[in-house]
Amino acid sequence: MTTTTPPPTQAPEPSDASRRGLAARVSLGRVFAPVPSEFLLIASTALLLTGFGLVMVLSATSALDGAQNPFEQVIKQGVFAVLGIPLMFVASRLPVAFYRRMAWPVLIGATAFQLLVFVPGLGVESYGNQNWVQIAGFQFQPSEFLKLALALWMGAVLWRKRTLLRSWSHVFIPVVPVAGLVIATVLGGRDLGTAMVLVLVVLAALFFSGVRLRMFILPALAAIGLVAAMAVTSPNRMARIMNLFDADTVSCYYDTCYQSLHGIWGLASGGVFGLGLGNSKEKYDWLPAAANDYIFAIVGEELGLIGCAVVLVLFALFAVGAFHVVRKTHDPFVRIVAGAITIWIVGQALINIGVVLRVFPVLGVPLPFMSQGGTSLLSVLLACGVLLSFARTLPVRAR
């Protein structure tokens, strides 16, 4: 007697609805997947500094007569914050390979945007620098985007040549000619402060790429020589430098050291606890760039030493999170770009604070996240998005 075994039953095919549900659960799982502590540290400090900056911009620009809207400037700054914060988190979702592929197009586009400052009718000159463009009623500073573009480009080029960096010719070409051309577009507008930050980005990228020390020193010496030549050939820059060493500040009060003196006086008058939020006296037409390059002086005057310490601690925490990305990554591209961005943001913050403290001459560089200027805020938030994208590639510590 033969018995026939029934054919094996097959599981029913999942319906389209169940497939969509599974895909949705997978997508939600990716969105809410745990992120490294570096991601949280960088994102939280960036948001806190941005919010702190909006409050201080409102305070610094509220000293107006009754005919003007005291919220006009902070609303403009807030628009860029509302635009930049979502873009930061969108940029944090993009893969590392995307930034590597887009390095050349981003640099070309940013340089073309920078060249618009030389177009009659678009370029705007302010305080002797022609580094702004006016488009559709909005004023932009294209050189701010060059900082991020140059960091990405340096990372992509040095990553491709990572096995050839012992040769001077491979380090020199195309880094020095291309970076020099990009920086020259900024120097053409007589903006030495921004050019110095771009030089800092290039040197930081070379350092984190692991080039030999002697190859790193030569570009550093060349950069120092260029800055010295730009300073010596400008009577105004030389006067600002010499004023740092001049004990007689009365002679330059109405000239080159007017703003720097009022900045340091504002810091000094704040004491430990400050005069109170909104109670600054220097912002009443005594400190011309109160909301821009000298926002840190207003922080010191209104919130005192405690407020200044909070700002410094936030930047220190940001640096810790960013440098952890540099230290923990195994990708040379991530290490180079993250290191260059960190040196740019933290270094520019130290330069700005040093100017307010009269350690450095007036250079015209804003305080990242906090100074009034939508282009500066937007570029820094986008750079933070790149750092957050890199932080996602780090392993998450098991709890």
Q: What is the pLDDT of residues 121-153, one digit of tens each?
A: 888 887 677 888 988 777 889 999 999 999 999
Backbone φ and ψ of 129, nearest 5°: -105, 135
Pairing relationship of beta strands 138-140 and 123-126 according to DSSP bridges:
unpaired
**Highest mean pLDDT (candidates 33-47, 127-141, 248-262, 315-329):** 315-329
Instruction: Identify whether the C-beta of residue 386 lies closer than 8 Å to the C-beta of residue 152.
Output: yes
pLDDT, one tens digit per residue, over 33-75 is: 678 899 999 999 999 999 999 999 999 988 765 556 778 889 9
Least confident among 31-40, 92-101, 193-202, 261-270: 31-40
CA separation for the pair 389, 94 (Å, rounded): 6
Grade residue 91 by pLDDT with cuts at 50, 70 and 90: very high
CA separation for the pair 88, 384 (Å, rounded): 6
CA separation for the pair 397, 393 (Å, rounded): 12
Name the average pLDDT for the chain. 86
pLDDT, one tens digit per residue, over 228-242 is: 888 787 777 787 777
Instruction: Identify whether the C-beta of residue 321 lies closer than 8 Å to the C-beta of residue 36.
Output: no
Q: Residue 1 pLDDT more than 70?
A: no
User: Would you state the pLDDT for residue 15?
Assistant: 59
Least confident among 128-132, 157-161, 186-190, 387-391: 128-132
Helix (H/G/I), strand (E/B), else coil: 366: coil
User: Would you state the pLDDT for residue 149?
Assistant: 97
Q: What is the mean pLDDT of residues 174-199?
A: 91
- Output the six-digit token pair for 279: 């109670």
Query: ω into residue 395 within 30 of 0, thus cis?
Result: no
H-run or E-run covering 130: strand 129-135
Pairing relationship of beta strands 123-126 and 129-135 according to DSSP bridges:
antiparallel
Residues paired with 116 in a beta bridge: none
User: Would you state the pLDDT for residue 125?
Assistant: 83
pTM of this structure? 0.88
User: Would you state the pLDDT for residue 211?
Assistant: 87
Instruction: Identify whether the C-beta of residue 161 lies closer than 8 Å to the C-beta of residue 109.
Output: no
